[in-house]
């Protein structure tokens, strides 16, 4: 795959930039150069996004690469043309983005778009437009996913140099991501976690056994030995205690049963005594109750007499009720007769009034006949009145129509005048439209400039705040440096004093050990007249001296570190301050050139305030001009419609005038016809309405008379019927009343005889009182029955109780209770001993089972976990070989990479170097398995890659990078990628190493491969003639141009 042309629109720092790689088709090496942050690596992001819809790195989304300065209505797009296997492809992509609506206010969400065109020569063979289909087709064409493409095409040279020098752990982490061997890592971690879980379970089981022994309820004589005995002996002791407890438990069970029997016998005796004593008490109570019942005998006899009288009243109740019923019926009949006679008199009066009304209606018959004749005559003249009325209505309609036409003509004339005036105004507005459009364009350009200035000011203010924070940090560092220097001086003085004392003491020790005539180790003298002696004070040890020296060295290192850090930060702050000042001056100069600023302002806050005010003014003016343009454009757009309305109104006006003349003529003819009809009408009626009203009055008078006659006849008939039925009703009521009086007299005589005989009076009031008390009769009867039954039962109970108790005496309950309490206490003591021993045996039995099962489980698990530990050690690499499973797999991959890398390294180093894996086992896991050595043919020895110079290490790292790309291509099916980008890694090289690296790149057997170097190093700009130079334009924008130097 070789790129031909890349076009970026609103992508990163590029507004509309095309990179023509076809001009570099025959160039083996070219340079992409520019300042840091100018957008060099963005070119590769554009290539990756065009192919895969994603950026080159994981930490940036495609949507985040939309330019901040992009117009809200302009989309972010990428177009790439490339060749692959003799075919040409053009792919277009746009990320998901939010754009302003073009024809209305507001925003719209745009989905991601992709289109792939496939060409054979100049002929398009296919076009794919769906994102998913495009992604599948690209994967089919290149046979690479995004990660593989980035690893092959973009070589982060610094990363490969770090890989070359890193230890085996770091190499393993890098290769794991490339070859996706996380499965082996996860397998090892899973095995290790499982082993730890098994170990934890055994520990938990051992802890559980220890805790179980702590919960054992030991005998007092065994508890003292519990913590001193091992687990096995404790287990034997526990089993022996359980056996002894079982025998003691059986003995206590027998004792408890005997004590229970004694308590039960005494309890039965006490219960029988309590029952006997209760019977004596009940016998005395029954005798007293019999005396009380005999005292109620007189009252019971009086109650019996009352019951007899109530029973007599109950027998007379039907006759008394019959008498009361007859009295009520007689009173009702009398009231009914009285009401019938009153109604009969009322009906008679109404009948006489109706007869008088009938006579009056007979007198009005001549007037009624006259009305009927007049009605017939006027009905014949009504036709002429109706004709006149019809003509009058037609005349009024025509008159109204003529008036409407007159008003409509006047309205249309007014509308026509307004339209003519508005069309004249529109013609005048068209002349001012170009001037407003120019103002709008100027305001838009001015607003865009001010928004860019505002963004620059925000960046400058952030930089200013950063500088202020850096100044505070620098002051803190300088304070720390002063404190560190004071500490260093103190530590140096302390060390020097201790060192001098230690030397003096050492000399004195040597002097004390000198033999006579032995040469002095200091001066060589054979005589020692004044040997050194130990100074007074505490002796100084070597450890104290070493500690003082270590403190001094640490203080010196701190001072050196702080000094270097302060120097670095001071230089960085000076540069940042200068850059900020220069950027501020450039901004002020631009504001002055554009007339936004007359005199320079000292503070960024003042500049920010000025730009905001100008931006607000510009926004307001732009909105005002835009509104004027909208209003005027709307009027201009209405011009053709208004002209059409003008023509339509003129035509309509002509038609209305013609219609008005016709209707006016018809109105005049109807007016003449109406005058002629009115001459033949009677003079007493003004019009048809007056005649119709008179006829209506006549009809109502005729109908009213006829209705009165009919109603009089009907009412008279009804009253005659009422009078007949009323007379019959009164006669029947008088008959009924006579019969009721006879029945009442007979009933009253019978009741008088009965009352006289029983109560010696005919007064009904005593009988009524007795009848009101009848509801008490059942209760009184029940009291009589209960009394005599209770009396008989009590006499029988007393006789039986007297016979039962005649040979017995009451029991001493207090003595019996005391005896029972003593026996219960004895039972409780035995039961407590039994329960305590039972609880101890039950608890210890459960713990014995738990401990036995735990020991059996530990024995079973220890065998399995031993085998698992060996497997975990082997897989994780913590065995003697220090080579885990994943590292073994990656070692084979690294061997393949080194084999491919050596082909390039032999070419680049002229056959001097050869990379190979380090064969010896390292001291630790971190330096075993993936260490790399280099064979140097000039000296015939193998040495560490750490001994390579900067240029040599660059060549070795480049060989590794190229080899990795080739391995990935082979694993992807042998796909061919003819483009390579080397990103940075040159800034850390010195001049000689840089020249060596550049020569190595030029000597690569690239064939048709195109290699691009991404760097800002000046020496590369001087050495490489073909360059893509990226220049920053301000406001976050960059521009690229192709430079070819001879």
Say whether pLDDT at 91 is over 90. Answer: yes
CATH code: domain of residue 87: 3.40.50.300
Q: How many CB atoms lie within 10 A of CB 42?
A: 23
Q: How confident is the model at residue 506 (pLDDT cuts 50, 70, 90)?
A: low
Q: How confident is the model at residue 115 (pLDDT cuts 50, 70, 90)?
A: very high
Phi, psi of 535 (to 5 degrees): -70, 150
Q: Residue 875: which H helix or E strand, with range?
A: helix 813-876
Q: What is the mean pLDDT of residues 841-851?
A: 85
In a domain, 887, yes or no: no
Q: What is the mean pLDDT of residues 518-540?
A: 63
Lowest mean pLDDT among 112-116, 264-268, 626-630, 857-861: 857-861
Spacing of C-alpha 631 from chain mean position = 46
In a domain, 94, yes or no: yes
Distance of alpha carbon 829 from alpha carbon 809, whole angstroms? 35
Domain count of the fold of the chain: 3
CB 100 within 8 A of CB 84: no
**Domain boundary residue among 637, 672, 699?**
637
Of 50, 61, 57, 76, the residue nearest 141 (C-alpha):
50
Distance of alpha carbon 46 from alpha carbon 53, whole angstroms? 9
Say whether pLDDT at 1008 is over 60. Answer: no
Of 130, 139, 140, 146, the residue nearest 92 (C-alpha):
130
Question: String of b and e for 197-226 (b: at least 16 CB within 10 Å)?
Answer: ebeeeeeebeeebeebbeebbbeeeeeeee
Q: Do 377 and 311 share a structural domain?
A: no
Q: How confident is the model at residue 728 (pLDDT cuts 50, 70, 90)?
A: confident
Is the pTM of the predicted complex or chain greater than 0.75?
no
Q: How confident is the model at residue 794 (pLDDT cuts 50, 70, 90)?
A: confident
pLDDT on residue 82: 92
**Strand arrangement, sheet containing 941-944:** 913-917, 932-936, 941-944
CB 40 within 8 A of CB 33: yes
Q: Do 356 and 408 share a structural domain?
A: no
Residues β-bridged to residue 31: 1013, 1027
Distance of alpha carbon 752 from alpha carbon 772, whole angstroms? 19
CA within 13 Å, CB half, 1002:
12
Distance of alpha carbon 688 from alpha carbon 381, whole angstroms? 10
Q: How confident is the model at residue 374 (pLDDT cuts 50, 70, 90)?
A: confident
Distance of alpha carbon 625 from alpha carbon 638, whole angstroms? 20
Tokens at residue 6, please? 């890349």
Q: How confident is the model at residue 551 (pLDDT cuts 50, 70, 90)?
A: confident
pLDDT on residue 1005: 47
**Domain boundary residue among 622, 637, 652?**
637
CB 213 within 8 A of CB 231: yes
CB 1 within 8 A of CB 977: yes
Distance of alpha carbon 368 from alpha carbon 374, whole angstroms? 10
Q: 277-300 pLDDT, tens per residue?
A: 887 788 788 888 888 888 888 888
Of 379, 365, 380, the residue nearest 699 (C-alpha):
379
Q: Do 26 and 77 share a structural domain?
A: yes
Residue-by-residue DSSP string for 462-511: HHHHHHHHHHHHHHHHHHHHHHHHHHHHHHHHHHHHHHHHHHHHHHHHHH
Q: How confident is the model at residue 413 (pLDDT cuts 50, 70, 90)?
A: confident
Distance of alpha carbon 733 from alpha carbon 591, whole angstroms? 127
CB 145 within 8 A of CB 139: yes
pLDDT on residue 126: 92
Q: 914-959 pLDDT, tens per residue?
A: 988 887 777 676 677 788 888 888 888 888 888 887 777 777 877 8
Q: Do 759 and 629 share a structural domain?
A: no
Q: Do 433 and 350 share a structural domain?
A: no
Q: How many CB atoms lie within 10 A of CB 847?
A: 19
Residue-by-residue DSSP string for 126-155: EEE-SHHHHHHHHHHHH---HHHHHHHHEE
In a domain, 1019, yes or no: yes
Lowest mean pLDDT among 125-134, 308-317, 643-652, 948-957: 948-957
- Is the dihedral angle over the CA atoms 47, 53, 59, 61 positive or is it negative? positive
In a domain, 156, yes or no: no
Q: How confident is the model at residue 76 (pLDDT cuts 50, 70, 90)?
A: very high
In a domain, 442, yes or no: yes
Say whether pLDDT at 8 is over 90. Answer: yes
Q: Kindly state the greatest CA–CA separation across the chain.
A: 196
Which residues, other chains included, contact 390 with Cβ-Cβ below 8 Å and sequence gap of 6+?
none
Task: Provide the terminal-to-terminal Cα distance of the chain, rounded to the nearest Å.
Answer: 29
Of 232, 160, 359, 323, the residue nearest 753 (C-alpha):
323
Q: How confident is the model at residue 516 (pLDDT cuts 50, 70, 90)?
A: low
Distance of alpha carbon 158 from alpha carbon 974, whole angstroms? 27
Domain of 736, in residue numbers: 300-363+689-772
Q: Do 445 and 392 share a structural domain?
A: yes
In a domain, 495, yes or no: yes
Q: Do 450 and 349 share a structural domain?
A: no
Query: What sections of 638-687 are H helices per DSSP?
Result: 639-678
Distance of alpha carbon 884 from alpha carbon 893, whole angstroms? 14
Q: Residue 110: which H helix or E strand, with range?
A: strand 107-110
CB 817 within 8 A of CB 270: yes
Q: How confident is the model at residue 580 (pLDDT cuts 50, 70, 90)?
A: confident
DSSP letter, residue 66: B
Residues β-bridged to residue 913: 936
Q: Does 56 or 574 have the greater pLDDT score?
A: 574
In a domain, 507, yes or no: yes
Distance of alpha carbon 511 from alpha carbon 519, whole angstroms? 11
Tokens at residue 297, please? 């005998």
Tokens at residue 69, please? 């300065």
Question: String of b and e for 621-630 (b: at least 16 CB within 10 Å)?
Answer: bbeebeebee
Q: How confident is the model at residue 994 (pLDDT cuts 50, 70, 90)?
A: low
Mean pLDDT of the chain: 80
Tokens at residue 486, please? 């004071």
pLDDT on residue 508: 66
**Domain boundary residue among 772, 807, 829?**
772
Say whether pLDDT at 705 is over 70. Answer: yes
Of 1043, 1040, 951, the residue nearest 6 (C-alpha):
1040
Say whether pLDDT at 552 is over 70. Answer: yes
Tokens at residue 151, please? 């690893």
pLDDT on residue 974: 56
Distance of alpha carbon 42 from alpha carbon 61, whole angstroms? 13
pLDDT on residue 409: 85
Distance of alpha carbon 243 from alpha carbon 237, whole angstroms? 10
CB 337 within 8 A of CB 736: no
Distance of alpha carbon 862 from alpha carbon 900, whole angstroms? 48
Q: Do 489 and 581 share a structural domain?
A: yes
Residues β-bridged to residue 20: 5
CA within 13 Å, CB half, 910:
3
Cα angle, residue 793 at apex, residues 787 and 797 outer, rounded to 5° = 140
Q: Do 448 and 428 share a structural domain?
A: yes
pLDDT on residue 926: 66
Q: Do 420 and 342 share a structural domain?
A: no
Say whether pLDDT at 535 is over 80. Answer: no
Say whether pLDDT at 38 is over 80. Answer: yes
Distance of alpha carbon 465 from alpha carbon 341, whole angstroms? 121
Q: How many CB atoms lie within 10 A of CB 596?
A: 20
Q: At what angle do helices 604-637 and 542-593 cross, to 10 degrees?
A: 40
Tokens at residue 84, please? 């692959």
pLDDT on residue 988: 59
Q: How many CB atoms lie within 10 A of CB 866?
A: 9
Highest mean pLDDT among 269-273, 453-457, 679-683, 825-829: 825-829
Distance of alpha carbon 859 from alpha carbon 853, whole angstroms? 10
Q: Do 430 and 349 share a structural domain?
A: no
The residue to which tokens 């190493």 are assigned: 993
How buried is 872 (Cβ within 10 angstroms: 0-12 exposed, 13-18 middle, 19+ buried)?
A: buried
Residue-by-residue DSSP string for 282-321: HHHHHHHHHHHHHTTHHHHHHHHHHHHHHHHHHHHHHHHH
Say whether pLDDT at 990 is over 80. Answer: no
Q: Do 342 and 381 share a structural domain?
A: no
In a domain, 209, yes or no: no
| Alpha carbon separation from 226 to 233, 243, 854 (Å, rounded) | 9, 18, 19
């Amino acid at each position: 795959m070789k790129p031909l042309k890349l076009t970026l629109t609103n992508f990163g720092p590029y507004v509309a930039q095309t990179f023509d790689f076809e001009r570099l088709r025959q160039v083996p090496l070219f340079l992409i150069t520019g300042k840091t942050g100018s957008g060099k690596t963005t070119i590769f992001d554009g290539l990756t996004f065009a192919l895969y819809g994603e950026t080159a790195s994981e930490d940036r989304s495609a949507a985040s690469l939309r330019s901040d300065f992009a117009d809200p209505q302009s989309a972010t797009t990428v177009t790439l043309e490339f060749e692959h296997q003799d075919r040409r492809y053009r792919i277009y992509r746009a990320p998901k983005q939010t754009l302003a609506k073009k024809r209305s206010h507001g925003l719209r969400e745009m989905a991601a778009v992709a289109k792939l065109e496939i060409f054979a020569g100049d002929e398009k063979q296919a076009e794919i437009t769906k994102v998913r289909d495009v992604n599948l087709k690209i994967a089919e064409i290149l046979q690479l996913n995004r990660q593989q493409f980035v690893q092959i095409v973009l070589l982060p040279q610094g990363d490969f140099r770090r890989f070359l020098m890193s230890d085996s752990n770091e190499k393993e982490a890098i290769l794991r991501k490339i070859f996706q061997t996380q499965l082996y890592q996860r397998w090892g971690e899973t095995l290790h976690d499982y082993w730890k879980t098994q170990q934890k379970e055994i520990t938990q089981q051992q802890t559980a056994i220890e805790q179980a022994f702590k919960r054992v309820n030991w005998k007092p004589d065994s508890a003292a030995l519990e913590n001193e005995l091992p687990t096995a002996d404790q287990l034997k002791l526990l089993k022996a205690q359980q056996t002894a407890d079982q025998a003691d438990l059986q003995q206590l069970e027998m004792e408890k049963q005997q004590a229970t029997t004694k308590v039960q016998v005494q309890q039965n005796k006490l219960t029988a005594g309590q029952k006997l004593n209760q019977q004596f008490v009940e016998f005395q109570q029954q005798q007293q109750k019999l005396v009380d019942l005999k005292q109620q005998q007189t009252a019971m006899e009086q109650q019996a007499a009352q019951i007899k009288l109530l029973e007599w009243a109950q027998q007379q109740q039907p006759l008394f009720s019959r008498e009361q019923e007859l009295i009520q019926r007689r009173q009702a009949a009398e009231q009914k007769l009285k009401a019938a006679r009153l109604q009969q008199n009322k009906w008679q009066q109404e009948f006489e009034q109706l007869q008088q009304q009938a006579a009056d209606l007979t007198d009005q018959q001549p007037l009624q006949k006259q009305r009927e004749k007049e009605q017939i005559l006027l009905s014949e003249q009504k036709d002429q009145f109706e004709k006149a009325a019809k003509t009058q209505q037609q005349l009024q309609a025509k008159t109204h129509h003529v008036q409407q036409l007159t008003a409509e003509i006047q309205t249309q004339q007014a509308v026509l005048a307004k339209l003519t005036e508005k069309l004249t105004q529109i013609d005048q507005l068209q002349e001012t439209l170009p001037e407003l459009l120019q103002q709008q364009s100027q305001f838009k350009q001015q607003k865009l400039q001010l928004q860019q200035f505002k963004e620059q000011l925000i960046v400058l203010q952030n930089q200013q705040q950063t500088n202020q924070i850096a100044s505070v940090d620098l002051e803190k560092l300088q304070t720390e440096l002063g404190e560190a220097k004071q500490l260093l001086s103190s530590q140096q003085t302390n060390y020097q004093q201790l060192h001098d004392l230690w030397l003096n003491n050492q000399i004195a020790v040597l002097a004390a050990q000198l033999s006579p005539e032995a040469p002095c180790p200091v001066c060589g003298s054979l005589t020692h007249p004044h040997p050194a002696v130990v100074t007074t004070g505490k002796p100084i040890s070597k450890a104290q001296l070493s500690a003082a020296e270590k403190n001094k060295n640490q203080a010196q290192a701190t001072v050196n570190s702080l000094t270097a850090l302060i120097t670095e930060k001071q230089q960085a702050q000076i540069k940042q301050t200068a850059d900020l000042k220069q950027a501020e001056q450039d901004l002020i100069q631009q504001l002055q050139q554009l007339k936004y600023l007359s005199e320079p302002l000292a503070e960024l806050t003042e500049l920010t305030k000025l730009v905001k005010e100008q931006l607000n003014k510009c926004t307001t003016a732009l909105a005002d001009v835009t509104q004027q343009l909208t209003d005027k454009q709307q009027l201009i757009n209405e011009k053709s419609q208004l002209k059409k309305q003008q023509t339509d109104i003129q035509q309509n006006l002509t038609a209305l005038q013609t219609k008005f003349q016709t209707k006016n003529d018809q109105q005049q003819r109807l007016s003449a016809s109406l005058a002629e009809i009115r001459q033949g009408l009677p003079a007493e009626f003004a019009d048809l309405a007056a005649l119709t009203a008179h006829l209506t009055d006549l009809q109502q008078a005729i109908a009213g008379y006829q209705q009165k006659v009919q109603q009089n006849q009907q009412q008279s008939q009804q009253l005659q019927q009422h009078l007949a039925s009323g007379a019959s009703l009164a006669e029947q009521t008088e008959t009924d009343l006579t019969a009721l009086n006879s029945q009442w007299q007979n009933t009253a005589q019978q009741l008088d005889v009965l009352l006289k005989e029983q109560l010696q009076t005919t007064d009904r009031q005593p009988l009524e009182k007795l009848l009101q008390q009848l509801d008490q009769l059942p209760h009184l009867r029940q009291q009589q029955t209960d009394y005599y039954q209770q009396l008989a039962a009590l006499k029988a109970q007393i006789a039986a109780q007297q016979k039962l108790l005649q040979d017995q005496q009451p029991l001493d309950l207090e003595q019996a209770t005391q005896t029972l309490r003593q026996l219960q206490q004895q039972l409780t003591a035995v039961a407590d001993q039994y329960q305590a021993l039972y609880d101890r045996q039950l608890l210890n039995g459960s713990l014995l089972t738990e401990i036995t099962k735990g020991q059996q489980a530990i024995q079973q698990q220890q065998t399995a976990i031993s085998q698992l530990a060996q497997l975990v050690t082997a897989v994780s690499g913590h065995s003697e070989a220090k080579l885990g499973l994943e590292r073994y797999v990656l070692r084979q991959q690294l061997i393949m990479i080194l084999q491919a890398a050596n082909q390039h390294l032999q070419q680049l180093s002229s056959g001097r170097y050869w990379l190979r894996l380090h064969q010896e086992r390292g001291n630790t896991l971190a330096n075993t398995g993936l260490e790399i050595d280099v064979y140097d043919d000039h000296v015939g020895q193998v040495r560490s890659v750490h001994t390579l110079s900067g240029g040599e290490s660059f060549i070795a790292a480049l060989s590794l990078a190229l080899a990795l790309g080739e391995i990935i291509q082979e694993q992807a099916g042998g796909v061919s990628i003819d483009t390579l980008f080397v990103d940075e890694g040159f800034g850390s090289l010195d001049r000689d190493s840089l020249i060596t690296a550049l020569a190595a790149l030029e000597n690569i057997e690239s064939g048709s491969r195109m290699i691009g170097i991404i760097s800002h190093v000046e020496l590369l700009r001087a050495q490489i003639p073909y360059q893509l130079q990226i220049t920053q334009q301000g406001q976050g924008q960059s521009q690229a141009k192709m430079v070819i130097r001879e």
